[in-house]
Amino acid sequence: MRTNKFIRFSIPWVCVAVLLLIVSLTPASADASDFAFVTTSDYITGNSSVVWLDGSYSHDNNVRALHSDAVARFYNGLIYVVNRMGADNIQILDPQNGFSSVRQFSVGAGSDPHDIVVLSPTKAYVTRYNTNTIWIVDPSQGIQTGSIDLSGLADADGRAEIDMMCRVGNRVFVTVQRLDRNTPGWPPAGASRVAVIDTQTNALLDTDPVAPGVQSILLTGTNPYSDIQLDPYTGKLYVACAGYWGLKDGGVEAVDPVSLHSDGFIFLETAAGGDIMDVEIDRGTHGYAIMNDASFNTVLISFDAASGMKTGTLYAPGGYVLLDIEVSPWRELFVSDRTPTLPGIRVYDVFSNEEITTAPIDVGLPPSDITFSLPIQTGIGDPPAAGSVVSLGEAYPNPFNPATTIPFTLAGDARVTLRIYDALGRRVRGLIDEERPAGPQAVTWDGRDDASRAVPSGIYFVELRASGTVLSRKITVLK
């Protein structure tokens, strides 16, 4: 999930990411207005393109010029672009108005912003890689409103290397790489960590009340390099820790956002065959990764997150050309392929692992980062944050037979969709798709699918979408 970050160490001239992974819709449910937004770059100039998610994979190229090192995030109908090293600003685009630039504002000269988490139209966090502070900004005005100090996590070179973020309910999780800038190649400087921020107080949470001071989550691996991915099936966070470049000392690590500790590696670089640069977990155990071998060839592989075993090689183009992988809400794996002779976006079916596209989708300049025009996954039934527009309660009874009640609350009138999915991410039943008034309410599921057939025993997922938020909970049918 992480890409387009220029590697300023031993790996030559390359850059390698909300996001966002949510319980999915089926292809037939796709809205013709939904799209994949792709940042593109030749490392000198930058632009962006759109691939429409209506099944045609039609595309509009060069919709808005960006910095040559940029990643994008989607929130509440707008695209938030992080223009990184050398630009040091946030650019907000409006897809409803031809992807015009609504606003562009600095987050500090030389700060090298790496990620943004938008909490509301007037509040966002921005990590600034060359500093030890996260800026709190008001995107609606383009101004800084505060900061969060992480200097206590810096290593001996004075920098903490604050990198990627993921929001889970009232908390934001931040990877802290802790690399030694005084040594060529920027190797890990001891343990890497994940800091946890309380979004209501903007303060760091103490993950270990027994130890003195405010503690962060200690990772098993070092150099957390990918985006942090929240998997709605397991409720866990996943991040690829690359460790020392060229050594098979890292892997994909799981973090529990409730107990605030690491569960350790679920997939090792020794099993992958090289450094793991990016990771996607789909349906709890079905994993994908971009692996970089000893000769700097990036390879798209699949793995079983339950067994920790590599299950296949999907694409091995040769060269350091694969930058980003993202699973779309319609169970398709989008791959950013920068092969010089034929760059573009490749798409794979996550059930068969077969490539859907017969040739890469041309997006103009070589593709870098990919994001989708859908609400950001903000939690698995977490308590609503102050000012939250929606919350999803526990279904009761659970397990159930033959019916269960699903409660939810809206802070204001909103368009609501509520659907049931099976453990493979396939739609089972649509329960709500309409405008709903503010206040507490509930809907009953009778344990039947859209064709009125009784579903078998097993695990299912409730997905609630409203006002730019997606929440999900696990329920069990027991007969």
Predicted confidence at residue 409, as pLDDT, reads 86
Q: How would you list the strands of the sheet with 322-327, edge to edge?
A: 322-327, 332-337, 344-349
* Host H or E run for residue 42: none
Query: Which residue's entry shows tokens 């089972």?
Result: 428
Closest CA to 31 of 389, 373, 464: 373
DSSP one-letter string for 90-143: EEEEEGGGTTEEEEEEES-TT--EEEEEEEETTEEEEEETTSSEEEEEETTTTE
Q: How far apart are CA 365 and CA 45, in angstroms?
A: 9
* φ and ψ of 56, to 5 deg: -90, -25
Alpha-carbon torsion (176, 376, 390, 477), positive or negative: negative
Predicted confidence at residue 389, as pLDDT, reads 60
Predicted confidence at residue 1, as pLDDT, reads 45
Q: How far apart are CA 36 and CA 135, in angstroms?
A: 27
| Amino acid symbol at 152 | G
Predicted confidence at residue 31, as pLDDT, reads 44
Predicted confidence at residue 71, as pLDDT, reads 97
Task: Extract the residue ranges of the chain whose pLDDT is less than 50.
Answer: 1-32, 376-387
Single pTM value for the model: 0.78
Cα–Cα distances in angstroms (integers) from residue 300 to residues 290, 334, 347, 386, 455, in the given order: 5, 11, 12, 41, 35
* φ and ψ of 46, to 5 deg: -135, 155
Instruction: Say if CB 275 and CB 291 are below 8 A apart.
Output: yes
Q: How far apart are CA 387 and CA 375, in angstroms?
A: 17
Question: Which domains are delineated in the chain?
Answer: 27-376 (2.130.10.10), 389-477 (2.60.40.4070)
Q: How far apart are CA 202 and CA 126, in angstroms?
A: 13
Predicted confidence at residue 382, as pLDDT, reads 44
